[in-house]
Amino acid sequence: MIFRSATRADVPAILALLDDDEISRSRQQVVSEGDDAACWAAFEAIDADPRNELIVADDAGAVVGTCQLTFIPSLSRRGAERMTIEAVRVRTDLRGHGVGRAMMLWALDRARERGCGLAQLTTDKRRTDAHRFYAGLGFTASHEGMKLAL
Amino acid sequence: MIFRSATRADVPAILALLDDDEISRSRQQVVSEGDDAACWAAFEAIDADPRNELIVADDAGAVVGTCQLTFIPSLSRRGAERMTIEAVRVRTDLRGHGVGRAMMLWALDRARERGCGLAQLTTDKRRTDAHRFYAGLGFTASHEGMKLAL
């Protein structure tokens, strides 16, 4: 398994992973999202942005996991970037087999390479398995993650 | 009071606001941070990035509040950006006078102008006043905010 930046060809597989999740499905009505011009524009925006990386876990050509890394420059913490991790998904049939852990360890190494002082993410309070997973990687649930739909 | 993007001339005042906070002070040893080349480089990085905005609340020329807005393109939520808010501060003697509320309402309007689907932030679990403040603006503490120092 390798971890790499996503290409246009990976977008349908990534959208399928994002949609294969009960909590995410409850948030949006997906209508042929693969055809959606806004999704392609978002991919191009991420791909062109040196502070955003859309990552896939590639197992012999199959996309089995994904996450998005955003590197945020900041005046806090002596000017170091912080890495925000969003949209973490592993293919349902492979959960619990170490794919997510390997992907997160890879992402944390990316952050260290860039000199980030902090990695952060938010995870739905209903995802108790995810909390244990991230705690096992060293994350601390020190903050409230507050959201406002616009 | 107006809200505007920060200039280089605002950086010392912003650093003073970021430092004027008990929890933040406990996180870092600030050593002449105003002289720190990394802070200036971070300011230049934010200033040049169309997806990062360092905002100040300007009251007759005095910087009385600050926050940083990051607009993250995403394949989730039909390609809409999400706005992350970081490093929110109001000058100590002005807290509870509506400066923060006005700044957040302004920031949420910025997000709507850009077509963001979601605004999000994390706030330390010890900041119970902040939780009430954000809840009053419509934010829901639906997520765990997990952090890992690198």
- Is B75 in Cβ contact with A39 (below 8 Å)? yes
Of A74, A139, A141, the CB nearest to B86: A74
Only one residue has tokens 């700044």, namely B103
Percent of chain A with pLDDT over 90: 82
pLDDT digits (tens, 9 = 90+) for B93-141: 999 999 999 999 999 999 999 999 999 999 999 999 999 999 999 999 9
- Is A125 in Cβ contact with B146 (below 8 Å)? no
E strands, chain A, are 2-5, 52-59, 62-72, 82-90, 118-124, 140-149
pLDDT digits (tens, 9 = 90+) for A91-137: 999 999 999 999 999 999 999 999 999 999 999 999 999 999 999 99
A&B contacts, CB < 8 Å:
226
- Is A144 in Cβ contact with B125 (below 8 Å)? yes
Compute the distance between CA of residue A104 and CA of residue A118 in angstroms, rounded to an integer: 14
pTM across the whole model: 0.93
- Is A27 in Cβ contact with B77 (below 8 Å)? yes
Chain A residues in contact with B24 (beta carbon < 8 A): 76
Q: Tell me whether 0.90 is exceeded by the ipTM.
A: yes
Mean pLDDT lowest among A22-26, A91-95, B75-79, B145-149: A22-26
Chain B residues in contact with A54 (beta carbon < 8 A): 75
Rounded mean pLDDT, A142-148: 98
Strand partners, A149: B118
